[in-house]
Amino acid sequence: MFRQRYPNVALDESRMIVNSTRFTTAGAALAHVDLALRIIRGRSPALAALVARYLLVEPRSSQAEFVIPDHLAHADPMVERFECWARRRLAQGFSLAEAASAAGTSERTLARRLQSVLGKTPLSYFQDLRVEHAVHLLRTGNASVDQVAAQVGYSDGVTLRALLRRKLGRGVRELRRGG
């Protein structure tokens, strides 16, 4: 019925969220939630995680504070492989060649796929994951800012503080208080 009504639209039934040049669309029951989280995640993965946490009916105590369930975040196996690789090596740093190899693809294909699914470059998404993890560590532990910075791959606390202020508009004290 969709194809008959909209013959000029390339319908991709294999994906929940589809990004095109000008539009992001979603289909299926409750897809508006997936679509909203995708749009929010493109601007701020931390905010998307917070929104997802409030939207989920059943709390998941085993789930880290800033992790969005994979089916809400994206349903692309290559992106999932990249994200798993990235989360395991936040402290080691980023290598596009290693990331592509871990995702089982070429550097160019990985970059195109992340841009299509998440609206970000692999490096940008890697940096977002670092920030998310740093915020989680600051809110849930008592490690110093320098220790947290080292755990997420930054050289010192000054760099992390500046990044948090730039990306989130909040300082370490605010984040530790849950703000």
pLDDT tens-digit readout, 106-141:
999 999 999 888 888 999 999 989 998 898 888 888
65, pLDDT greater than 60: no
CA pseudo-torsion sign 152, 165, 50, 142: positive
104, pLDDT greater than 70: yes
Q: For the domain 2-176, what is the CATH superfamily, name and number? A: Homeodomain-like (1.10.10.60)
More confident residue, 166 or 12: 166
More confident residue, 175 or 61: 175
Between the CA of residue 45 and those of 67, 130, 157, what are the distances in Å?
9, 11, 21
57, pLDDT greater than 50: no
- Which amino acid is located at 55 in the chain? L
Question: Residue 56 has what pLDDT?
Answer: 58
Which of 107-111, 154-158, 172-176 has the highest mean predicted lDDT (pLDDT)?
107-111
pLDDT class for 149, splitting at 50, 70, 90?
Answer: very high
More confident residue, 94 or 55: 94
Question: Residue 64 has what pLDDT?
Answer: 33
Residue 134, phi-psi category: left (phi > 0), alpha (psi -120 to 50), beta (remainder): alpha
Question: Residue 84 has what pLDDT?
Answer: 86
Least confident of 35-39, 72-76, 162-166: 72-76
Question: Residue 167 has what pLDDT?
Answer: 85
Q: 17-19 and 24-26 as β-strands: parallel, antiparallel, unpaired?
A: antiparallel
Percent of the chain clearing pLDDT 70 (strictly above):
79
